[in-house]
Amino acid sequence: MENEGLSIVDKRTKTTYDIPLHKGTVRAMDLRQIKTGPEDFGLMTYDPAFVNTASCHSAITFIDGDKGILRYRGYPIEQLAEKCTYLEVAYLVVHGELPTVSQLKEWVSKITHHTMLHESTKNFLGGFRHDAHPMGMFISTVAALSTIYPDARNVRDPGVRQLQIYRLIGKVPTIAAYTYRHGFGYPYIYPDNDLSYAENFMNMLWRMAEPKYRANTALARALDILFILHADHEQNCSANVMRSVGSSQADPFVATAAAAAALSGPLHGGANEEVLKMLDEIGSKDRIPAYIERVKAGRVKLMGFGHRVYKNYDPRARIIRRAAGQVFEVTGRNPKLDIALELERIALEDEYFVKRRLYPNVDFYSGIIYQAMGFTPHMFTVLFAIPRTAGWLAQWQEMLQDPEQKIARPRQIYTGYAQRDFVPIEKRGA
Ligand code: CMC
C-alpha cells in the first residue's frame, strides 16, 4: 500500500524521517539519509549472516518455514515429487513454467546431448589422488569446465547463458559419476543417450562389463525424487554464493564451482555425510540418550537437525522418509534407519529441541537412502550438488536479469586502528 511506511525519529538530531515500506521491507539505502551532519556517512544496517535481510526479489522458490511449506514456482514440492521427473522440475525451476510436451522433449534432448565430457576434462579427473574426496574433485572439475568453454564468459547474451545451462545440467552427473569411480580405480563410463537422467547417472556409476546397463526402475525413480527435492531452496548459503560470484559477471562454471564449495560445508550440504558419521558413532539405540545429553551440553550438534528457515518439519524430510520404504524394498532395510527414527522420536520430545524448534531437515534421512543404494558417505554431498545445479543456474539467471542487481559488495563496520605511522622493522621490538 502506498501510504505504508515508518516514521523514524533520530534522537540525536530530533529529526523525523518517513521511510516507505515495500512488501514488508525497508530499503537499506533509505536509511542512508539519516545522519547527524554533512560529514556523517549515514545510517547502515548490521546483519551478519543475513538473518533478517532480503538480498533480492525472487520468483523461483517459496518457503514458509513456520508452516513447513516449500514450493517451486508456486507448485507444492509434494505434487512435483509425486508427478514429475527431475528434468521436468529443472525446466520449471530454470524457466518459470512447467514445460509442454514439445518443450520437455527439446529440453531433455539438449541436456542429454551435453552429458559428454571433453577428454582433457576426463584426464584432469584422472590426475587426482586415488583417495581424493569426491566433493573436492567435483568442485575443481566444474571450475575446470571454464577453461574448455571460454564462450561462457559472455554472460550478458541469453543464448550463451542457455547453452551453459544445458552444459552444466548435462555434465554434472558425468563428473559426479567419475569422481565415484575414481576412488575404486574403475574406468570411467561414457554417457548412454538412450537412458533417462537418473538411469544414465546410474549407468555411469555402476556399469561394469555388461554391454548395456539396465537400471532398477524403483531405484532410478527414488533417485529422481531425491533430485527433485534438492533442486532449489531459495537464498541459502550456496545460492547466495552463486549470486555473489555471478554478480561480478564471472562465468557460470566458476560460479557453480564456488556455490558447490559453499554446499560442501557440514552446516550446509555436507551435513548429509555428517549424519551418517553421527549414526555410526551412536551405533545402537541404547546409546541415543547419552548422545542427546552431549548435544544439549553443546559438545556436539545433532547433524541433520535444525534450519535457519524451517521452524517446523522440513517437508523434504517427510517425503524422503516415505521414499525410503520403496528403496528398502529393493535394497533391504538400512539398520541405521531404526537409530535415526528413534533419535528423531527422542529429540522431538525433548525440551531442548522443542524450545529451539529444531526438526529433522532434508539431510537427516537422505544419507540413509543413499547408503542403502550403495553410495559411500563421502559421495552424499556430490549427490546434493547434481540437482542443486539447476537451482543455482535459475538464481544466477534471475540475478543477471534483475535491473536492480549490481556487483555484490557488503559494507562493514571497521573496528581496526585509526591511522598510524609506519614503524621500521628494527624498531618493532623483540
Ligand atoms: N543441534 C543442536 N543444537 C542446535 C542445532 C543442532 N543441529 N541447530 C541449532 N541448534 C541450536 C543452536 O545451538 C542455538 O542454540 P542457543 O539458542 O542455545 O544458542 C539454536 O539452536 C539456534 O541455532 P542457530 O545456530 O542460531 O541457527 P542457525 O539458523 O544459525 O543455523 C543450521 C542453522 C542449519 C546451520 C543449524 O541448525 C545446524 O548447524 N544444523 C546442523 C547442520 C545441518 O543439519 N545442516 C543442514 C541444513 S539443511 C540442508 C541445507 O540446505 O544445507
The CATH code that applies to domain 271-373 is 1.10.230.10
Q: What is the pTM of this model?
A: 0.95
* Cβ 236 vs Cβ 242: under 8 Å: no
Q: Do domains 67-265+391-401 and 271-373 have the same CATH topology?
A: no
Residue 12 CA, ligand 1 centroid: distance in Å:
38
Q: Which atom from ligand 1 is nearest to the alpha carbon of 269?
A: 52
Residue whose CA is at the smallest distance from ligand 1 atom 34: 307
Would you identify the CATH topology of the domain 67-265+391-401?
A: Citrate Synthase; domain 1 (1.10.580)
Residue 352 CA, ligand 1 centroid: distance in Å:
12
Residue 252 CA, ligand 1 centroid: distance in Å:
30
Question: For residue 163, what pLDDT is reported?
Answer: 98
From 316, 358, 380, the mutation candidate for ligand 1 (largest count of ligand atoms within 8 A of CB) is 358
* Cβ 4 vs Cβ 20: under 8 Å: yes
Residue 101 CA, ligand 1 centroid: distance in Å:
42
Q: Which atom from ligand 1 is nearest to the alpha carbon of 263?
A: 52
From 305, 343, 357, the mutation candidate for ligand 1 (largest count of ligand atoms within 8 A of CB) is 305
Residue 19: alpha-carbon gap to chain centroid:
35
Residue whose CA is at the smallest distance from ligand 1 atom 35: 267
Can you tell me the distance from the alpha carbon of 379 to that of 134, in angstroms, rounded to the nearest whole number?
Answer: 6
Residue 199 CA, ligand 1 centroid: distance in Å:
35
Q: Which atom from ligand 1 is nearest to the alpha carbon of 364?
A: 44
Question: For residue 331, what pLDDT is reported?
Answer: 94
Question: For residue 430, what pLDDT is reported?
Answer: 84
Report, as residue numbers or ranges, the catalytic residues: 268, 307, 363
Residue whose CA is at the smallest distance from ligand 1 atom 27: 308
Residue 347 CA, ligand 1 centroid: distance in Å:
14
Q: Which atom from ligand 1 is nearest to the alpha carbon of 268?
A: 52
Plot region of 381 (φ>0 → left; ψ -120 to 50 → alpha; else → beta): alpha
Protein residues with CB under 6 Å of any ligand 1 atom: 233, 236, 267-269, 271, 295, 301-308, 356, 358, 361-363
From 263, 300, 308, 320, the mutation candidate for ligand 1 (largest count of ligand atoms within 8 A of CB) is 308
Residue whose CA is at the smallest distance from ligand 1 atom 36: 306
Q: Which atom from ligand 1 is nearest to the alpha carbon of 314?
A: 48
Residue 306 CA, ligand 1 centroid: distance in Å:
5
Q: Which atom from ligand 1 is nearest to the alpha carbon of 304?
A: 44
Hey, where are the domains in the chain?
67-265+391-401, 271-373
Question: For residue 4, what pLDDT is reported?
Answer: 84
From 267, 282, 348, 352, the mutation candidate for ligand 1 (largest count of ligand atoms within 8 A of CB) is 267
Closest CA to 369 of 254, 218, 173: 218
Question: For residue 3, what pLDDT is reported?
Answer: 65
The pLDDT tens digits along the chain (430 residues) read 556 899 999 999 999 999 999 999 999 999 999 999 999 999 999 999 999 999 999 999 999 999 999 999 999 999 999 999 999 999 999 999 999 999 999 999 999 999 999 999 999 999 999 999 999 999 999 999 999 999 999 999 999 999 999 999 999 999 999 999 999 999 999 999 999 999 999 999 999 999 999 999 999 999 999 999 999 999 999 999 999 999 999 999 999 999 999 999 999 999 999 999 999 999 999 999 999 999 999 999 999 999 999 998 899 999 998 888 889 999 998 889 999 999 999 999 999 999 999 999 999 999 999 999 999 999 999 999 999 999 999 999 999 999 999 999 999 999 999 999 999 999 999 8
Which residue is listed with cell 538412450? Answer: 194
Residue whose CA is at the smallest distance from ligand 1 atom 45: 267
Question: For residue 74, what pLDDT is reported?
Answer: 98
Question: For residue 322, what pLDDT is reported?
Answer: 85
CB neighbours of residue 161 within 10 Å: 18
Residue 385 CA, ligand 1 centroid: distance in Å:
21
